[in-house]
Structure 1
Amino acid sequence: MTGPRIDLRSDTVTTPTERMRRAMHEAVVGDDVYAEDPTVSELQREAADLLGFEAGLFMPSGTMTNQVAIAVHTQRGQEVICPEGSHIYEWELGMMATFSGVVPRFVPAPRGVPDPDDVRRAIRRSIHQSPSGMISLEDTHNKAGGTVLPLEVLAGVRDVAEQEGLPLHLDGARMMNAAAAQGVRPSDIARHFHSVSLCLSKGLGAPVGSVLLGSRDFIGAAHRYRKMMGGGMRQAGILAAAGLIALREGPALLQEDHRRARELAVTLKEAGYDVDLETVQTNMIYATLPDAQTRVNAWAARGLLASALDHDRVRFVLHHQITDDLLAHAQDIIRS
C-alpha cells in the first residue's frame, strides 16, 4: 500500500476526537444500572430534549435500542411492519424472532421510501394471520443508499399508526443525517414517532453507543429489557461523555460529509461505475459492478477501503475524519 489509508467502509470507523478523549478522562461516573451515573443521565436528558421526548436510555448499540423497542412495543406471535431492506431485519441477526418472538412483514420501499397506503394494506387483523404489533421505519435508509424519508411520508405513516392503534418506531441510526439533508430540526422528524433509536457512533462520531427515546413509561419498560440483553454497563459515563460531545458537535459536520459523498459518487459515475445519483442524499454511496470483492481488494491494496456488501455492490460511507485531501486521493485511486 502506498499513500494514506482512506477508510470508507462505514462511518463507525472513526476514532474519538481529542475533545472526546478529554471528556472521557474527566467524566464523573456512577453505577448506571442503579441509574446513578450523572454523565449518562445528562446524555439521556439532552437527547430526549433535543428530539422532544420525555426520557431516554443509553445502550451499547443501535441493534440493542431497536430490539429493545420491538420487545416493549410487541407481543409474541405478532408482526412488525417495516420497509423492505430494513436494518432491523437485514443486519440484526433475526433478533426480533429470537428475543421477541415476532416476525417482519415487508412493504415496498422504492429508494427506501414506503407509501403510507402500502403500510395500511400490510396491517393484519384476521384470526387466521399473525396480527400486526408495530410499524418501524428507517431514516436514513441504509440499504437504499442512505436515502431520506420525506416529512410528508412520516406524517402519512403516523396517521396510519394512530388510526390503527399501532406504535410507530424509528430506526434513526442516521436520523441526524436526514435532518441535515432536509434542513430541518431533528425534532421535526422525531415528533412523528412513539420511539426513536439514535446512534451516536455513526455520523456523529462517538466511539460507542445509541440512545433509545420515548415516553417515561416506555423507557421504564425498556430499562428491564436492556438489562435482559446484557446492556447494563455500570460506570458508563466514560462512554456517555464522548456521546455528549458527539451530540453537541457532530451534527454541524454532516453537511460536509454529504458534499464529499456527492463528489465521490460523481467520480465513480464518471469512471464507469453504476451509481444512482438520486440515492446519494446523505453520506453513503452504493455502486454496482461485477465481481465487487475483487475490485474492493484492488482498491484496498492502494489504501482505499470500501465494503463489498453483495457480489456486485460496493458501499462507501463518508465521515468527519475524511478530509478534502483524503477525498482527492480516493478519487485518484478510483480514476486509475
Structure 2
Amino acid sequence: MISLVDDAALLSPKEMAERLASLTSDGKTVSDYYGNGGAVEAFEARIAAHLGKERAVVFPTGTLANLCAMRLLAGTDNARILVHRDGHFFNDAGDNLAALGRFTMVPLAGEGAGFEAADVEHEIARAASARVAARIGCIAIESPSRRIDGRRFGSGRIAAIAEVAREHGVPMFLDGARMLIECAVTGQSPADMAAPFDLVYLSLYKYLDAPFGCVLAGEAALLDDVYHQRRAYGGGLWQMWPAAVMAQDKLSRFDALWAEVVRHVEAVFAAMEGGPVAVERFADGTNAVRLILPRAPGDPAAFAARAQRLGLKLPPLAGDRMTVKFNESWLAAEPAALARKLRELAE
C-alpha cells in the first residue's frame, strides 16, 4: 500500500518485530534500566550530536516530554507560554500545560504556520504591564506544523524572534516532531535548524520506525537530571531500548533515503503535469501537497473503493481536493506508474 497520509511507510507488528530481531541478533544490544544506560544512552549521544546539542534524553511520549520541557525552561510559577493558535500545544495535548504545569498558553496567530517577532514583543510588553506580576516563560515554535499542511514556521521569522528572545531573556523551544523531514526537503541541516532553540523535541515513531517515544535535546545542564521528572510524571518505563534501537537504525539511513524520496516525488509530479489531477504546492511546504481533482467525487464510497484497488491509502477529501503526504512508501512504484494511479483517481 502506498500511503498518501503518513510521514513514513509504517511498519506492521510483524515487520517491526522482524526488524528488531535482526538488529539485535548479534547479541550486543545492551538494555537500559528505566531509560538510563545501554542502547538508550548510546542513541541519546548519537541524536544529540545530530541535532548539534550537548545532551539528549529519550521520553516515552511527546506529551510528557513537552510538559517537562516547559518546566525546565519556564519554571513552575505559572508563567505564560507563547504558542501558535493552530499548533500542537494549543490543540492536541488536552491543555496539559495548564492542568499539570500551571502554565498559561497564549495563542498567537500569523500567516501560515508562523507568527511574527512583533507579536512576541507585544505579549512581552503586555505581561510586563499586568497589575499582577506576570512573565513570558517560553516561546514555543512548531515546525513543520501538522495541522497547517506540514508548512514551515520560517527560518527568517525564527531568527527575528530569537533576537527578541535574547534581548528579553526568554528561552525558546522547538516542537520539531517532523523536523528531519523539513530538513530533508529544504536542505538545512538539523543542527542549524535546532541552533536558535534552548530545547528541541523530536519524534521517534512518526517516521523513525520506533514503536513509541521522542527525545528532548539541549544543554547538558538542563537535561542531566530530567530523568527524575520523567519518572515522577509516570514516564519511567522499565526498558526503552526497542525505541532507541529502531530509531538509531532509521536515522543511519534517513538522509540517503529521503534524498531518494524527494527525487522520486519530483519525477512523479513531473509525470502528472497536464493530467486531470493538479498538484498544488505550498511555498513554505515540506512533504505535503494538495491534489485537486477535476470535480468532487459523486460517490465517495466508490472513490474510496477505487483508491483501495489502486493500492493507495488516502486522506479524507474536502470537496474536489485533498492534502496528501509523500514518504518512502512512494518508492514502491515507478514514477510513471504512480502518476498513472493518481490520474486514475479522477476517472
Common fold by TM > 0.5: yes
Matched, 1:103 2:114: no
Q: Following the alignment from structure 1 to structure 2, what is the Cα–Cα distance between the partners of residues 295 and 110?
A: 32
Name 1:60's counterpart in structure 2: 60
Alignment CA distance shift 1:111-1:11 (3 Å): same
Matched, 1:6 2:2: yes
- Decide which moves more: 127-136 or 252-261: 252-261
Query: CA shift at 1:324, angstroms?
Result: 5.1
Please, which of 287, 304, 309 is the counterpart of residue 299 of structure 1? 304
Q: Following the alignment from structure 1 to structure 2, what is the Cα–Cα distance between the partners of residues 165 and 156?
A: 14
Q: How does 1:189-228 map onto structure 2 within 5 Å?
A: 189-228=193-232
Query: CA shift at 1:188, angstroms?
Result: 0.6
Name 1:148's counterpart in structure 2: 152
Name 2:80's counterpart in structure 1: 79
Name 2:191's counterpart in structure 1: 187
Query: CA shift at 1:119, angstroms?
Result: 2.0
Q: Following the alignment from structure 1 to structure 2, what is the Cα–Cα distance between the partners of residues 211 and 220?
A: 13
Name 1:251's counterpart in structure 2: 255
Matched, 1:335 2:341: no
Alignment CA distance shift 1:34-1:171 (3 Å): closer
CA distances 1:25-65 after superposition (whole Å, capped 9, x unpaired)? 546233432723x1100100011111121111112233332
Q: Secondary structure at the match of 1:111?
A: coil
Q: Secondary structure at the match of 1:32?
A: coil
Alignment CA distance shift 1:255-1:217 (3 Å): same
Please, which of 111, 130, 145 is the counterpart of residue 127 of structure 1? 130
CA distances 1:277-297 after superposition (whole Å, capped 9, x unpaired)? 2257321235689999x8488
Query: CA shift at 1:209, angstroms?
Result: 2.2
- Give TM-score, length-normalised by structure 2: 0.81
Query: CA shift at 1:86, angstroms?
Result: 1.2
Matched, 1:47 2:47: yes
Query: CA shift at 1:118, angstroms?
Result: 1.9
Alignment CA distance shift 1:101-1:270 (3 Å): farther
Matched, 1:112 2:108: no
> For residue 170 of structure 2, what is the amino acid of its counterpart?
L
Query: CA shift at 1:100, angstroms?
Result: 1.0
Query: CA shift at 1:169, angstroms?
Result: 0.4
Q: Following the alignment from structure 2 to structure 1, what is the Cα–Cα distance between the partners of residues 339 and 104?
A: 44
CA distances 1:131-190 after superposition (whole Å, capped 9, x unpaired)? 311001112122222123433322222111111111100001111122222212211111
Query: CA shift at 1:109, angstroms?
Result: 2.8
Unaligned runs of 5+ in 1: none
Query: CA shift at 1:314, angstroms?
Result: 4.4
Alignment CA distance shift 1:297-1:174 (3 Å): farther
| Superposition CA RMSD, Å | 3.3
Q: Secondary structure at the match of 2:330?
A: coil
Q: Secondary structure at the match of 1:211?
A: strand
> For residue 7 of structure 1, what is the amino acid of its counterpart?
S
Q: Secondary structure at the match of 1:112?
A: coil
> For residue 95 of structure 2, what is the amino acid of its counterpart?
G
Q: Following the alignment from structure 1 to structure 2, what is the Cα–Cα distance between the partners of residues 200 and 156?
A: 29
- Give TM-score, length-normalised by structure 1: 0.83
Q: Following the alignment from structure 2 to structure 1, what is the Cα–Cα distance between the partners of residues 123 and 316?
A: 32
Alignment CA distance shift 1:317-1:54 (3 Å): same
Q: Following the alignment from structure 1 to structure 2, what is the Cα–Cα distance between the partners of residues 109 and 311?
A: 26
Q: Following the alignment from structure 1 to structure 2, what is the Cα–Cα distance between the partners of residues 132 and 177?
A: 30
Name 2:167's counterpart in structure 1: 163
Instruction: Tell me if the contact between 1:257 and 1:283 (Cα under 8 Å) persists in the aligned partners.
Output: no
Identity %: 23
Matched, 1:91 2:102: no
Query: CA shift at 1:301, angstroms?
Result: 5.9
Unaligned runs of 5+ in 2: none
Q: Following the alignment from structure 2 to structure 1, what is the Cα–Cα distance between the partners of residues 321 and 119?
A: 28
> For residue 42 of structure 1, what is the amino acid of its counterpart?
A
Q: Secondary structure at the match of 2:217?
A: strand
> For residue 63 of structure 2, what is the amino acid of its counterpart?
T
Alignment CA distance shift 1:97-1:258 (3 Å): farther
Instruction: Tell me if the contact between 2:3 and 2:329 (Cα under 8 Å) persists in the aligned partners.
Output: no
Query: CA shift at 1:73, angstroms?
Result: 2.0
